[in-house]
Amino acid sequence: MQIIQCPEEMRKRSDQLRLEGHSIGFVPTMGALHNGHLSLVKASLKENTKTVTSIFVNPAQFGPNEDLERYPRDLDSDVKLLNEEGCDILFVSEKEQIYPEGFQTWVEVAELPQNLCGLSRPGHFKGVATVVAKLFNIVNPHQAYFGWKDAQQVLVIKKMVRDLNFSIKIKAKPTVRDSQGLALSSRNRYLSADEREIAKLIPLAIQRAKEYFQNGNKNAKLLINELVGLFDGQKNTEVEYISLVGISDLKAVDKITKDTLLALAVRVGATRLIDNHLFSEEESCSE
């Protein structure tokens, strides 16, 4: 695997690959890779002739009191995993290269960030959209791969790509879970054994929601109350939101349909965990 650190070199390499007729798949990440990330790399390897993975812990998407400093970093292990997977290029850059002194241009999607994580993390999606736009310009891929676990992120990126005429196909892939149903996340390594037990309530909540809908129930408010109740009395646990929203605009719904997204953010100890379920999951995760 070739490792590139300089944005200009990455762009040149990509131009060269395009001239040679390659299709380039791109997997942007913040590192501390796990099987969720690797599922995206696998999908890209299958659907493109060259795959670029990037690792960049993007300061612009962390709030002032968030975990930027302690965010897990493990480049040696990441390089090993990507090598084993057969990834072609790793683009790994430093803050100074992505946000050089005097940087003042931002990309902001206006409405989609105004609910769910955007509410509790002001500025987060501005940081995400800006860095992804920059990475798209640097890597210049044909297709880019994102995890459905971050559903709001997928929608924001798709909107940005459409609105700014990027010629890149966005592929969203299903959430990879551990044997207990917990969505894999780089942040799971912060969890103590007790906290892991509490975290299991998140997949349980999703399971309850599936059954609720399968049994013909549609009332959003009642379901939310039931799911929030699952976390009642759990030590050091705070439900940031459990919301039922429309999949196109992320606005709250009263009645659950197949186009409804259940989105959850729960703080267990110092760790913020998110997950979601689209009631027509299989249909929408395939693209």
The residues annotated as belonging to the active site are 37
Would you say the C-alpha torsion 91, 191, 84, 74 has a positive or negative sign? positive
End-to-end CA distance of the chain: 27
- Quote the least distance from Cβ 210 to ligand AMP, whole Å: 18
User: In this structure, what are the phi and psi dihedrals at residue 130, rounded to the nearest 5 degrees?
Assistant: -65, -45
User: Nearest distance from residue 172's CB to ligand AMP, in Å?
Assistant: 8
**Identified binder of ligand AMP from the candidate list 4, 10, 24, 30, rule CB under 6 A:** 30
* Contact range with ligand AMP by CB under 6 A, out of 85-93, 132-140, 175-183, 260-268: 175-183
Q: Is 264 one of the binding residues for ligand AMP (CB under 6 A)?
A: no
- Whether 50 and 59 have beta carbons less than 8 Å apart is answered as no
CA-to-CA distance for 283 and 287, rounded, in angstroms?
Answer: 8
Is 42 an interacting residue with respect to ligand AMP (CB under 6 A)? Answer: no
**How many CA atoms within 13 Å lie on the side-chain side of 265?**
15
- Return the range that interacts with ligand AMP (CB under 6 A); candidates 118-126, 129-137, 147-155, 212-220: 147-155
Residue 184 binds ligand AMP (CB under 6 A): yes
Interface residue with ligand AMP, options 37, 50, 126, 277 (CB under 6 A): 37
**Smallest gap, in angstroms, from Cβ of residue 219 to ligand AMP?**
30
Residue listed under structure tokens 């493990």: 74
Contact 125, 152 (CB under 8 A): yes
Interface residue list for ligand AMP (CB under 6 A): 29-30, 36-37, 39-40, 146-147, 149-150, 175-176, 183-186
